[in-house]
Amino acid sequence: MSTNREFDCVVIGAGIQGSFTAYQLAKKKKKVLLLEQFILPHTRGSSHGQTRIIRKAYEQDYYTHMMEECYELWAQLEREAGVKLYRQTGLLVMGPEKSQSYLLYKNTMERNKVPTVTLTHDNFSQHIPHVNLADGDEAVVDIAAGVLYADRALKTVQMQFQKLGGVIRDTEKVTDIKPGPVVTVSTPAGVYSAKSVVITAGPWANKLLAHTGIQVPLEVVKLNVCYWKEKVPGTYGVQQRFPCFLLTEGEESKYHIYGLPSNEYPGLVKVCYHIGGKTDPDQRDLQTDRSDIDILKRFIQRCLPGLIPEPAVVESCMYTMTPDSDFVLDHHPSYSNIVIGAGFSGHGFKFGPIVGKLLSELSTGEVPSYDLSPFRIRRFPSKTKSAL
């Protein structure tokens, strides 16, 4: 007889990846416990906030391939729950016409027959007013891209998980993991046992992995999530069909700058720099670097003249970066019944449904639906806890 402390699977971390994994496992009729250290909902990890970009525009084919099915899975969740989670806006990818990064985006979309429209310097302003395209830049629009309502999505998947009989326990921080044929997981409220454990702890991944003898090369950074006020409300509005955008590289920066139309906060447009200052997730607010904001101000002055170049709202979020910005989706190298989903490198939200599916497959011993070689832990030099 199983007790309420024995599960088929314990998932640690109720961000978007852990929540989708728990949901997928519950769909397979597994008895699942989802543990979260904070009271839900919370704003201390990586999955909070109103919006995220969803797109097929990628530099690598494998992400574009996964997004095919992922759009379907998002739509399936919308239908199941009767909730709207996605709004199509298109994504404008801009960059130096001949640069490697811009061409990788453009070519990946072409190769994979993603519906696009290419805009040249000559016809750009006719289609996208109030945006200055730099000399020598070109733009391509990923037409099906858009906005995901992030907080709503997280709440929805957690609710659907519970409807399937899944158990969520928040304010239960996992303090120990003991590997074995049956894994035991300790929290201040007690000890749970499970046939398998999935670690989806976001920026805290290495803190948890330390209990299992390994570390993955992850760097946690704090992002300043900036919102900029429109000089004339509606200039860059979702109602006015202004798209999401991504600048692959520009005069101001060699890293991506991205933005979303004004939507969640009326009259405010979210524009962020895809890089942040290194932090410890438990001390996020002590990281006060604002150099990204200076870069964004210069970008806004040059490229988005309809915005006041001073952020009106600055929120905080964290990325968990791998050295190559590819995810970690794998079994633990020593314990096959411990599965790891980590290092989503600031672009994992849109993949939540697929990540959940893949991690659930790894945890039940099924053959994964996609080639996971880009996401293996072994691509990094091995580092055990004792070598730290």
Task: Identify the active-site residue in 317, 320, 322, 347.
Answer: 317
Query: Nearest approach, Cβ of 346 to ligand FAD (angstroms)?
Result: 5
Which are the contacts of 135, defined by CB distance < 8 A and separation ≥ 6? 121
User: What is the identity of the amino acid at 122?
Assistant: D
Q: How many residues does the chain have?
A: 388
Active-site residue 51, yes or no? yes
* Nearer CB in complex with ligand FAD: 14/25: 14
Query: Nearest approach, Cβ of 126 to ligand FAD (angstroms)?
Result: 27
* Nearer CB in complex with ligand FAD: 45/166: 45
CA distance 228 to 314: 9
CA distance 27 to 43: 27
Handedness of CA 256, 261, 263, 268 (dihedral sign): positive
* Nearer CB in complex with ligand FAD: 261/348: 348
Active-site residue 270, yes or no? yes
Task: Identify the active-site residue in 21, 51, 187, 200.
Answer: 51
CA distance 99 to 123: 20
Query: Nearest approach, Cβ of 284 to ligand FAD (angstroms)?
Result: 11
Pick from 308, 287, 289, 288: which is nearest to 297 by CA? 308
Q: Quote the tokens at residue 20.
A: 């989708």
CA distance 32 to 245: 38
Pick from 318, 260, 270: which is nearest to 296 by CA? 270
* Nearer CB in complex with ligand FAD: 96/202: 202
Minimal CB distance to ligand FAD: which residue? 15
Which are the contacts of 129, defined by CB distance < 8 A and separation ≥ 6? none
Q: What are the beta bridge partners of residue 96?
A: 137
CA distance 299 to 282: 31
Active-site residue 350, yes or no? yes
Query: Nearest approach, Cβ of 279 to ligand FAD (angstroms)?
Result: 12
Active-site residue 106, yes or no? no
Query: Nearest approach, Cβ of 340 to ligand FAD (angstroms)?
Result: 11
Is 56:108 a contact under the CB 8 Å cutoff? no
CA distance 36 to 27: 20
Task: Identify the active-site residue in 55, 56, 270, 357.
Answer: 270
* Nearer CB in complex with ligand FAD: 37/160: 37
Q: Quote the tokens at residue 224.
A: 């300043």
Query: Nearest approach, Cβ of 185 to ligand FAD (angstroms)?
Result: 9
Active-site residue 211, yes or no? no
Query: Nearest approach, Cβ of 324 to ligand FAD (angstroms)?
Result: 15
* Nearer CB in complex with ligand FAD: 124/185: 185
* Nearer CB in complex with ligand FAD: 155/173: 173
Pick from 249, 258, 260, 299: which is nearest to 136 by CA? 249
Interaction site with ligand FAD (CB under 6 A): 12-18, 35-38, 45-47, 52-53, 173-174, 200-204, 208, 223, 225, 272, 317-319, 344, 346-350
Within the chain, where are the H helices? 16-27, 61-81, 100-111, 124-127, 150-163, 205-209, 291-303, 352-364
Q: Which residues are catalytic?
A: 48, 51-52, 270, 274, 317, 350
